[in-house]
Amino acid sequence: MAAITADVIVDRIRSVCAGVPFGMVEAVAWTTFELQPTTNLDNVFRIPPPSSQRAIPMFGYAEERTDSVQIWLARKHNQDFDGVRRALTQTVHSLTAAITRDAFQDSGEYNVPSDGRGHSIFLDRRTDEFLTLRLTLPVNYDAQL
């Protein structure tokens, strides 16, 4: 793996989310969905900055890093809670596969280990209009110090 930054990986993940077949729209702010107009809140994603899990020093001012990347996705439920929950669960598997493929086959600059993956789906109590998915993926890469 070549030395890269977490920002490059997040940009690659953004392009996977916004690209075919997902076609998601990035939120106005990475911190919240609150700034997004409610008329434009369906299939909207945000990716906060990654959090560090582990860093292993290497020679030549480099380190092997494992960070956690969270992808948040909002979908309107229109009172079909179970249908949207099932669709979000399918999105978890499809998005994980697409990002893993991008990491391994397309970029080759990072990988997505199995340990540390997880997701949760919950009702946004602020508006009760949409369900939110939070997908957590570990990303492993070589970083230059």
Domains, the chain, in order of start with CATH, read 6-144 (3.30.2000)
Q: What is the mean pLDDT of the chain?
A: 89
**Which residues, 6+ apart, have CB-to-CB distance to 101 below 8 Å?**
none
> What are φ and ψ of residue 62, in 5° steps?
-130, 160
Taking the C-alpha atoms of residue 102 and residue 69, their distance in angstroms, rounded to an integer, is: 15
Structure tokens, 129: 């209009």
pLDDT at 133: 96
Strands 110-111 and 44-46: unpaired
What is the per-residue pLDDT across 20-60, written as a single tens digit (0 to 9) for each?
A: 999 999 999 999 888 887 677 789 999 999 998 777 777 77
The number of angstroms, rounded, from the C-alpha of 66 to the middle of its chain's C-alpha atoms is 15
Cα–Cα distance, 86 to 18 (Å, whole number): 21
Count of positions (residues) in the chain? 145
What is the distance between the terminal CA atoms of the chain, rounded to a whole angstrom?
A: 15
Confidence at residue 127, expressed as pLDDT on a 0 to 100 scale:
66
